[in-house]
Amino acid sequence: MAENGDEGMRFLVTGTAGFIGFHLARRLLSDGHEVYGVDGFTPYYDVRLKTARHSLLEKSPAFHPKVALLEDAEAMSAFADEAAPEVIVHLAGQAGVRYSLENPRAYVDANLVGSFNILEIAHKHKPRHLLLASTSSVYGGNTKMPFAEIDKADSPLTLYAASKKAMEELAHSYAHLWNIPTTAFRFFTVYGPWGRPDMALFKFVSATLAGKPIDVYGEGRMERDFTYVEDLVEAIVGLTSCIPKAGEAVSVHDSISSVAPFRVVNIGGGQPVGLLEFIKTIERCLGRDAKLNMLPMQPGDVTSTSASPDLLVKLTGQRPHTSINTGVSRFVKWYLDYHGPDGEPRNA
């Protein structure tokens, strides 16, 4: 079980202007930690949203921001020297399943080269724990549900998934060679306030408020294991003190390596929700009907995702639990607060 101590540590967090990195950094700061946050502010989506997130974090004197790309090894190394981190949480990278069909090189640059630079930093600074963001997409063509960490993940369907699985493999080798305690967590469809504009919830709410149709892929037959962002952050915080040791399994569900202090952990509740049910929830929260543009599956999409939460529960005593209705309602409230009546950010 995770301990609740470890106050006042120095964290190096990548991607702090991003959706999840922002929420994690804000939580760590509220818990009394020093956060050295780095972000590249790439224009994958509206940079104003990234700037607004970082501006909130910069109100804390314990937040130390840096603008740099993961691929810039020299800048990243210099910032890590300044941070002297006790814990590294690597969240930055090129996100998006569908965008990997359009700009594959971005995934190689950020998720492979960038992650390699983080591993080199961990090799140099020997943090007590290195934590890395992976994705449920690594399960690819697997059909056994729910997805368990001990299942093979050898059939990625997109370059995004392949780049994240490759990052996991690189991290395992570094954990073995240099004895770096490492946890890679696989996220399952994270959503909530301050979310990315390219994600379904943001796009559906924006289009519905504007009276525009929303694209519903797979004819609405898909389902996802949605994870509310605050539940995700709670899990990451809990996992921070769950230091992996090679060959020391906590249960039969443990993915711990026999030759390295390395494990992968799902962060998902194991309660998938159908896409049409998700849309109905959005309609209820907005008080208006959505216009649906039904489309076939896109290349790289999977019909369903479902996480086995058993290992997460064993390690931390918790699992994501926020209901879709509560989570979507909170997102809608944030969206309406953040955007003015003309649809533009109020604090841009």
Residue 283 lies in a domain: no
Residue 167 lies in a domain: yes
Alpha carbon distance 82, 36 (integer Å)? 9
State which residues form the domain around 149.
10-188+229-268+307-320
Burial class (CB in 10 A: 0-12, 13-18, 19+), 117: buried
- Model confidence pLDDT, tens digit, residues 274-291: 999 999 999 999 999 999
Mean pLDDT of 221-236: 97
Question: Which element (helix H / strand E) includes 333?
Answer: helix 324-338
Q: Of the candidates 59, 2, 1, which has an alpha carbon nearest to the alpha carbon of residue 25? A: 59
Residue 89 lies in a domain: yes
Residue 312 lies in a domain: yes
- Model confidence pLDDT, tens digit, residues 109-136: 999 999 999 999 999 999 999 999 999 9
**Residue 342's pLDDT band (boundaries 50, 70, 90)?**
low
Collect all residues with Cβ–Cβ distance below 8 Å to 86 and sequence separation of at least 6: 9, 10, 11, 127, 128
Residue 298 lies in a domain: no
Residue 41: which CATH number?
3.40.50.720
Scanning the structure block, which residue is given the tokens 């004895």?
179
**How many domains in the chain?**
1
Is 160 an active-site residue? yes
Residue 96 lies in a domain: yes
Residue 222 lies in a domain: no
Residue 141 lies in a domain: yes
Which of 160, 174, 191, 335 is catalytic? The answer is 160
Would you tell me how many other CB atoms lie within 10 Å of the CB of residue 41?
A: 14
Question: Which element (helix H / strand E) includes 274?
Answer: strand 273-274
Scanning the structure block, which residue is given the tokens 């961990």?
122
pTM of the model as a whole:
0.95
DSSP state of 248: -
